[in-house]
């Protein structure tokens, strides 16, 4: 084999690899997995940093809690004459299990959350947290507006319930490897009204759903304490039905 032929083969291989790794800016995601039985398993790290004082930038301790979670589409139901899918989430941390439910519908505008429920948990001292009551939003929350493309922007409006309309915008693209599979993602950043909160959130959305999320509370001062909370969530596997 001549040197020219070897060189040509090597250049072809390099070109193919580059094309496979390249994420096109014209990526468009048009829907969210909505089949009953679809599931996502994930790991979440919750980091809490405590500062020396309200005026100090010195961190005196940092605690990390590892959470294992599974979300799956359990069934469908009807609320206020609207057919919704029940997304059930179960998380385990320090041998404690919590279960939450969110009620979603995917319409021509996008993925909307209509309601939620935090399952009641009885603690060892017989006190309880959560409630078996379903809380219905006055205005459904537009979590993701479809079609989702670069520079998509919308209001995920919580204002009817808590007065904080959140602006979401697609800020870039990325590729994540989940369970040895590559997934092209659009990164959504959430911007809160100035003065209300220091929270920043970024989500990685693919054709198989939410695959990664990072949230930073910023520094919070509650005299005499100052702390910062960070949350990193990464999906480990996806099963689409």
Q: What is the pLDDT along the chain (241 residues), one digit of tens a residue?
A: 555 444 444 444 334 333 344 455 689 999 999 999 999 999 999 998 888 887 888 888 889 999 999 999 999 999 999 999 999 999 998 888 889 999 999 999 999 999 999 876 666 665 666 677 899 998 899 999 999 999 899 988 766 666 678 889 999 999 999 989 999 999 999 887 666 567 889 999 999 999 999 998 877 777 778 878 899 999 999 999 9
Residue holding tokens 């790991």?
A: 43
Cα separation of the two ends of the chain: 49
Measuring CA to CA, which residue among 164, 168, 141 is closest to residue 153? 168
Token pair of 191, please?
A: 């911007």
CB distance 47 to 229 below 8 Å: yes
Token pair of 4, please?
A: 């020219």
Residue 192, phi then psi, degrees to nearest 5: -100, 155
Q: Residues with Cβ < 8 Å from 117, sequence gap 6 or more? A: 100, 101, 131, 132, 133, 134, 135
Q: What's the rounded Cα separation, in Å, for the pair 140 and 146?
A: 15
Q: What's the rounded Cα separation, in Å, for the pair 154 and 144?
A: 8
Residue holding tokens 């006055």?
A: 138
Beta bridge partners of 75: 86
Q: Tens digit of pLDDT for each residue in 9-53?
A: 444 433 433 334 445 568 999 999 999 999 999 999 999 888 888
Half-sphere exposure for 185 (CA within 13 Å, toward CB): 23
């Amino acid at each position: 084999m001549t040197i020219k032929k070897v060189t040509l083969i090597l250049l072809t291989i390099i070109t193919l690899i580059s094309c496979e790794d390249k994420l096109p800016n014209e990526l468009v995601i048009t829907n969210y997995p909505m089949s009953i039985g679809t599931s996502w398993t994930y790991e979440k790290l919750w980091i809490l940093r405590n500062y020396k004082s309200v005026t100090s930038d010195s961190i005196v301790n940092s605690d990390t809690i590892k959470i294992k979670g599974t979300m799956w589409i359990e069934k469908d139901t009807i609320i206020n004459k609207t057919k919704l899918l029940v997304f059930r989430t179960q998380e385990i941390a320090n041998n404690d299990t919590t279960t939450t439910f969110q009620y979603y519908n995917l319409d021509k505008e996008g993925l909307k959350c209509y309601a939620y429920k935090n399952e009641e948990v009885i603690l060892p001292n017989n006190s309880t947290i959560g409630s078996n009551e379903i809380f219905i939003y006055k205005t459904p929350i537009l979590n993701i507006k479809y079609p989702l493309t670069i520079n998509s922007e919308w209001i995920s409006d919580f204002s009817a319930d808590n007065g904080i309309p959140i602006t979401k915008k697609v800020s870039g693209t990325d590729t994540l490897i989940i369970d040895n599979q590559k997934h092209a993602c659009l990164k959504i950043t959430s911007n809160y009204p100035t003065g209300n909160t220091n929270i920043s959130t970024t989500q990685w959305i693919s054709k198989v759903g939410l695959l990664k999320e990072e949230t930073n509370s910023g520094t919070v001062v509650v005299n005499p304490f100052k702390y910062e909370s960070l949350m990193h969530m990464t999906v480990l596997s996806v099963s689409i039905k």
